[in-house]
Amino acid sequence: GDGDPGDPGIALKTRTRTAKPPMYKVLLLNDDYTPMEFVVHVLERFFGLNHSQAFEIMLTVHKKGLAVVGVFSYEIAETKVAQVMDFARRHQHPLQCTLEKE
């Protein structure tokens, strides 16, 4: 600044942060009827996971009741949920997928 004898004389400014967009977790829910292989296929197809990653997440959902499949912007998360729900419905499986603000 200017005038204060203790002032180092360098203009310092704290960063004014641009708001970071909220992120959304996509959750997959367990049920008693959807085949395990179908869930693995969904995870590979819509979330770009390899077979072993997909199998691991499927087993977590099966054992714990739900798992986070990924974290995305609202638009991407909403699209993933819609794709999974539509694919499950077309195959007549009760698989549920939802999103939750982080």
Instruction: Say if residues 30 and 62 touch (Cβ distance below 8 Å).
Output: yes
Alpha helices in 1-102 (DSSP H): 36-47, 51-64, 74-90
CB of 10 to ligand TYC, least distance (A): 56
Minimum distance from residue 94 beta carbon to ligand TYC (Å)? 8
Cβ-based nearer residue to ligand TYC, 54 or 72: 54
Q: Which is nearer to ligand TYC, 37 or 75 (CB)?
A: 37
- Whether the Cβ atoms of residue 25 and residue 94 lie closer than 8 Å to each other: no
Residue pair 39/100 in contact (Cβ under 8 Å)? The answer is no
The least distance separating ligand TYC from the CB of residue 23, rounded to whole angstroms, comes to: 22
- The answer to whether residues 70 and 28 touch, using CB atoms and an 8 Å cutoff, is no
Cβ proximity to ligand TYC: between 58 and 77 the closer is: 58
Residue (24 or 26) nearer to ligand TYC, CB = 26
**Which residues of this chain interact with ligand TYC, rule CB under 6 A?**
28-32, 34-36, 39, 58, 61-62, 95
What is the DSSP-derived secondary structure letter of residue 52?
A: H
